[in-house]
Amino acid sequence: MRIDKYLKVSRLIKRRTVANEVADAGRILVNGKPAKASYAVKVDDVIEITFGNKPVKVKVLSTDAPMGKDVAREMYQVIEE
C-alpha cells in the first residue's frame, strides 16, 4: 500500500491529498529516510511525520485496509508523540 493511502486509511492524516503534499515537502521519514508519496509501506516500518513542530513516530503493524474507523487505530503503534 502506498504511504499516502496508508496515512489516510489509518487516519493519521485526514485526506490523501494532504498526505501527498506532506510527503512531497519531505516531512515524512520512513526508517530515518525521506519517503515520497509512492513509497510502499511494509509491516515493521517506522514512520515519522512532522506536523509543524510536533513530530509523531509510529510503527506499522498492518497494511490491510480496515473496515471501520475503530479498527484503523490497530494499524499502527505510537512510539513517540
Enumerate domains of the chain plus CATH numbers.
3-80 (3.10.290.10)
Distance CA 18, CA 45 (A): 21
Would you state the pLDDT for residue 51? 80
The three-state secondary structure class of 50 is strand
Tell whether the model's pLDDT for residue 55 goes beyond 80: yes
Q: What is the pLDDT of residues 6-20, one digit of tens each?
A: 999 988 888 999 999
CA 62/CA 65 separation, integer angstroms:
8
User: Mean pLDDT over residues 40-62, rounded?
Assistant: 90
